[in-house]
């Protein structure tokens, strides 16, 4: 019998110092996994990790070599790596005519290249045991677009297709790759929205509210568990029914 | 061939699940079905673990034969010393 327990598993969560990443680290720890979370700032990573019973390390996911070294180091220290959640990402809004080149470079290097580096390194670490589960963070706007979020949406569409393509390559090695596509979740990324904007977004969902980080984390915990053993290459919307 | 070769040969055999008929010393990427891009990732991970070295992305892509792998590992090990 399988269950949602992750006892004995080793997990890595990038961008784990707040919001969905921190909630995911907490959910995986509660399920019994040994969890390492990362953040760009070492002190914040350490502090966040301590708050949920994980270990914290500094990592800039745009640095491919650093990602490779860290993932390899975690696998070496713990003897294996079972779960990787590639969560690190940024979101900055800009209407089409106001998009600066810097915004494109920063968003794509963090959200797309950063996720790609993480999935590459994770796959290498998991390949020897021919098992593992990877989840990347897409977004509902990556699937359906959003005014003022062209760059972010494009980056998240790419992330979803990293999951789909990697799933096709890695399936025969026993490695599953899925994506979650959150809707509007109450995190630091959405804290800049006005109360009116939040109410408007909440009003668009059949559930009549915004999501909470732990609701995304719970879906991730399911996807990396044995309960999802025949699920790969999927993009799971977690949006309160925002898109139906 | 260097002293790396015998141990590396064992890693190749194990990581790519090779049988005795394969001429490992002259093996090149994609010569056999097992050494495709996915097999290559498993091979790279196994070599890194076994020799405690770390390849950068260009080296991973350039590791096109057993002989090249021997040279790369030898060079990386000399840097570690």
Per-residue pLDDT band for A39 (boundaries 50, 70, 90) equals very high
Instruction: Note if A152 is an active site residue.
Output: yes
Q: What is the pLDDT confidence band of residue B69, given thresholds at 50, 70 and 90? A: very high
Mean pLDDT over B57-75 rounds to 95
- Please report whether residue A241 resides in a domain: no
Neighbour tally for A142: CB within 10 Å: 24
- Please check whether residue A4 lies inside any domain of the structure: no
Subunit contact B54:A173, Cβ cutoff 8 A: no
Task: Determine which of A116-125, A156-165, B53-62 has the lowest per-residue pLDDT on average.
Answer: B53-62
A242 is a domain residue: no
The confidence score (pLDDT) of residue A1 equals: 46
Task: With cut-offs at 50, 70 and 90, classify the pLDDT of residue A2.
Answer: low
How many domains, in total, are found in chain B? 1
Domain of residue B64: give its range.
4-80
Name, in order, each residue with C-beta under 8 angstroms of A164's C-beta and a sequence gap of 6 or more.
A179, A233, A235
Single pTM value for the model: 0.92
Contact A172 B37 (CB under 8 A): no
Full residue range of the structural domain in which residue A33 is found? 10-235
B38–A172: do the CB atoms touch at under 8 Å?
Answer: yes
How confident is the prediction for chain A on average, in pLDDT?
Answer: 95
What is the structure's pLDDT at A3?
67
The CATH number given to whatever domain includes residue A152 is: 3.40.50.720
B46 close to A (CB below 8 A): yes
- Report how far apart, in Å, the C-alpha atoms of A178 and of each of A31, A92, A112, A216, A224 are: 19, 24, 15, 13, 9
Residues 6+ apart with CB under 8 A from B32: B16, B18, B22
Instruction: Catalytic residue, from A87, A137, A141, A152: name it.
Output: A152
pLDDT, mean of residues A23-47: 98
- What's the whole-number mean pLDDT along residues A112-123? 97
A124/B44 CB distance under 8 A: yes
Q: Is residue A177 part of a domain?
A: yes
Model confidence band, residue A193 (pLDDT cutoffs 50, 70, 90): confident
Query: What pLDDT score was predicted for residue A198?
Result: 87
Q: Which residue has the higher pLDDT, B79 or A217?
A: A217
Beta bridge partners, A10, equal A34
Extract the tokens encoding B74: 């030898």
Check: CB of residue A90 under 8 Å from CB of residue A84.
Answer: no
Rounded distance between C-alpha atoms, residue A139 and residue A160, angstroms = 8
Looking at residue A140, its pLDDT comes to 95
Kindly report the nearest CA distance between residue B54 and chain A, in angstroms: 8
Tell me how many domains chain A contains: 1
> Rounded to the nearest 5°, which phi and psi values hold at A83?
-135, 130
A167 contacts in B (CB within 8 Å)?
none
Among A85-99, A171-185, A189-203, B60-74, name the one with the lowest average pLDDT: A189-203
CATH (domain of B36): 1.10.1200.10
Question: pLDDT-based confidence at B1, cuts 50/70/90?
Answer: low
* Residues of chain B contacting residue A169, judged by C-beta atoms under 8 Å apart: 37-38
């Amino acid at each position: 019998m399988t269950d949602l327990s992750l006892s004995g598993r080793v997990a890595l969560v990038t961008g784990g110092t707040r919001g969905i990443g921190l909630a995911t680290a907490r959910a995986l720890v509660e399920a019994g996994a040994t969890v390492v979370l990362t953040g760009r700032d070492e002190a914040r990573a350490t502090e966040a990790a301590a708050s949920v019973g994980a270990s914290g390390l500094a990592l800039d996911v745009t640095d491919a070599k650093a990602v490779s070294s860290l993932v390899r180091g975690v696998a070496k220290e713990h003897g294996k790596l079972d779960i990787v959640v590639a969560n690190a990402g940024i979101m900055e809004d800009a209407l089409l005519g106001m998009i600066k080149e810097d915004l494109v470079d920063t968003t794509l290097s963090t959200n797309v290249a950063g996720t790609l580096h993480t999935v590459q390194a994770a796959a290498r670490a998991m390949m020897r045991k021919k098992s593992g589960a990877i989840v990347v963070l897409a977004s509902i706007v990556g699937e359906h677009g959003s005014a003022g979020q062209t760059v972010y949406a494009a980056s998240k569409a790419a992330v979803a297709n990293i999951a789909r393509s990697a799933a096709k390559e890695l399936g025969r090695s026993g490695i599953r790759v899925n994506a979650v596509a959150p809707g509007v979740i109450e995190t630091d990324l959405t804290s800049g929205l006005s109360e009116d904007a939040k109410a408007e977004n909440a009003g668009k969902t059949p559930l009549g509210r915004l999501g909470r980080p732990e609701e995304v984390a719970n879906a991730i915990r399911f996807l990396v568990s044995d309960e999802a053993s025949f699920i790969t290459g999927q993009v799971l919307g977690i949006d309160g029914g925002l898109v139906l | 061939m260097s002293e790396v070769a015998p141990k590396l040969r064992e890693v190749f055999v194990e990581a790519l699940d090779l049988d005795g008929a394969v001429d490992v010393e002259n093996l090149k990427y994609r010569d056999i079905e097992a050494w495709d891009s996915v097999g290559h990732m498993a091979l790279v991970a196994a070599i890194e673990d076994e020799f405690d070295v770390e390849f950068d992305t260009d080296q991973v892509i350039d590791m096109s034969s057993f002989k090249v792998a021997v040279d790369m590992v030898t060079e990386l090990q000399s840097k570690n010393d």
